[in-house]
Amino acid sequence: MPQLAGLTAVRLLDGYAAGDFSPVDVVEAVLGRAAEAQERTNAFVYIDAEGARAEAVRSARRWAAGEPAGPLDGVPATVKDILLQRGRPTYRGSWTVEDTGVWDEDAPAVARMRAAGAVFVGKTTTPEFGWKGVTDSRRFGTTLNPHDPRRTAGGSSGGSAAAVALGAGPLSLGTDGGGSIRIPASFCGVFGLKPTYGRVPIYPPSAFGTLSHTGPMTLDAADAALLLDVIAAPDARDWSALGPVAGSFREGLDGGVKGLRVAYSASFGGQVAVDPAVAAVVRATAERLAGLGALVEEADPPFADPVEAFHTLWFAGAARVVQPLEAGRRELLDPGLREIVAAGEEYGALDYLAAVDVRMALGAAMGRFHETYDLLLTPTMPLTAFRAGAEVPPGRGFTRWTGWTPFTYPFNLTQQPAASVPCGTDGQGLPVGVQLVAARHHDALVLRAAHALYEAGAAPRLTPAGT
């Protein structure tokens, strides 16, 4: 039943409950898609077919007995190879990580999914330590775009985005320190949410500090709400985790957007050059929100590009990641990663604290901005997917990945919830994402607005050719 591989998690759960099909049927179909995804895009570090089949059998027995383990029982899922998963090495895309060692602990979000009955299909590719906005590494090669294999899937959660797009499980866990969920979601035509920092606990703590978030990558906003209900719970291992959520993220999905105040910023006040095809899709989405009853006006967030502060925090974090490595082992690292590590090692404590000051001022400015506007609407990316294997799009004059991601990393500095919603394609059939941003702790509002776009047909399912 290969068509089962394209169903959302919500639809799968309805089918299990009704007896229309079983987790065994679904997992078999998904494993077929996973093999195809690996061949087409190099989306996986490994595929655990044996383990997934065994879990599917156990899940089918629970459903037959009317005793599902939890809200994800039997749903196939993947996990970015940055996050710990019990029983398997977590390579983080690096030759510096040994196969040997004790791998007996799940990251908090993985543990929650396991307890809820999710069936883990495999671990997905990432650049080394998730350091850049595309997915390639010396250890695992380049991850390709499911819509055009000549192009990048984006990163650093590119494997997760490609897997979801190609039906290799409707749910995936990604991480996002500067756009790493939203960039590949935009390039691959799937939904990706960076929740408010702390909403999903993180362990071990990221060397990139409180820039790094864990969140859902899914086929639509309803699936993301389902997954967030499971993973958004405190964990004793994360001292910075937020308290329990009151209610369910799924409960408010159908509230619509009528009366919501939406600021539409096409280019951050002219600071960003946006490709015309992308700009047209984003404007059409703003108009669609207005047609659904939102109060949309053109307004730009009150900040200049904070890239220098972001670089200070990000490059220093990269230096911290590799600090334990002996000098000889550093030769195993991606050359671009070695470059930013060298830059990070030059910063002093006062440089770092100055960047923190910029971050705090930016957060305060956006807090005031959201006293006027419920949501900010921007392009997720100023361009569509470019040539695979390059950190920056050729001929654009950028030197680092932050040059072409100006809409994403500011909201890691501010810790706000932000999602990429697929809302159309450019003239070459490549997906275009629209970013929705809300004030901190208003994750439910982002999901509600995104769901309204899906329900209105303004966020079409962008199925890669041949699936």
Residue 2, pLDDT above cutoff 70: no
- Give the residue among 45, 3, 42, 49 at the shortest CA–CA distance from 26: 3
Integer Cα distance of 263 and 260 in angstroms: 10
List phi, psi (to 5°) of 375: -135, 150
Tokens 């997906």 belong to 431
> How many degrees, rounded to 5, is the angle at CA 252 between CA 460 and CA 241?
100
* Helices 349-372, 307-322: inter-axial angle, 10-degree rounding: 130
Mean pLDDT of 254-260: 98
pLDDT tens-digit map of 191-247: 999 999 999 999 999 999 999 999 999 999 999 999 999 999 999 999 999 999 999
Residue 1, pLDDT above cutoff 70: no
DSSP 3-state assignment of 26? helix
Mean pLDDT of 372-397: 98
Mean pLDDT of 245-253: 94
Topology, domain 2-455: Amidase signature (AS) enzymes (3.90.1300)
List phi, psi (to 5°) of 45: -80, -40
Integer Cα distance of 431 and 216 in angstroms: 19
Question: Which run of H or E residues covers position 381?
Answer: none
Residue 467, pLDDT above cutoff 90: no
pLDDT tens-digit map of 350-360: 999 999 999 99
Mean pLDDT of 381-389: 98
Whether 441 contacts 467, CB under 8 Å: no
Tokens 């409950």 belong to 17
Q: Tell me what the pLDDT averaged over the chain comes to.
A: 97
Q: What is the 3-state secondary structure (H, E, C) of 249-294?
A: CCCCHHHCCCCCEEEECCCCCCCCCCCHHHHHHHHHHHHHHHHCCC
Whether 49 contacts 31, CB under 8 Å: yes
- Cα–chain center distance at 25: 27
**From 45-49, 149-153, 323-327, 340-344, the region with the lowest mean pLDDT:** 323-327
Tokens 């969920």 belong to 181
- 142: tokens are 């380049």
pLDDT tens-digit map of 66-91: 999 999 999 999 999 999 999 999 99
DSSP 3-state assignment of 64? helix
Mean pLDDT of 52-61: 98
If pLDDT is split at 50, 70 and 90, which confidence band does 100 have?
A: confident
DSSP 3-state assignment of 20? coil
Tokens 């929650």 belong to 112
pLDDT value, residue 22: 97
Whether 193 contacts 232, CB under 8 Å: no
If pLDDT is split at 50, 70 and 90, which confidence band does 466 have?
A: confident
pLDDT tens-digit map of 274-330: 999 999 999 999 999 999 999 999 999 999 999 999 999 999 999 999 999 998 899
* Helices 276-291, 443-455: inter-axial angle, 10-degree rounding: 90
Mean pLDDT of 384-400: 97
- Cα–chain center distance at 387: 21
Q: Which residues are catalytic?
A: 80, 156, 180
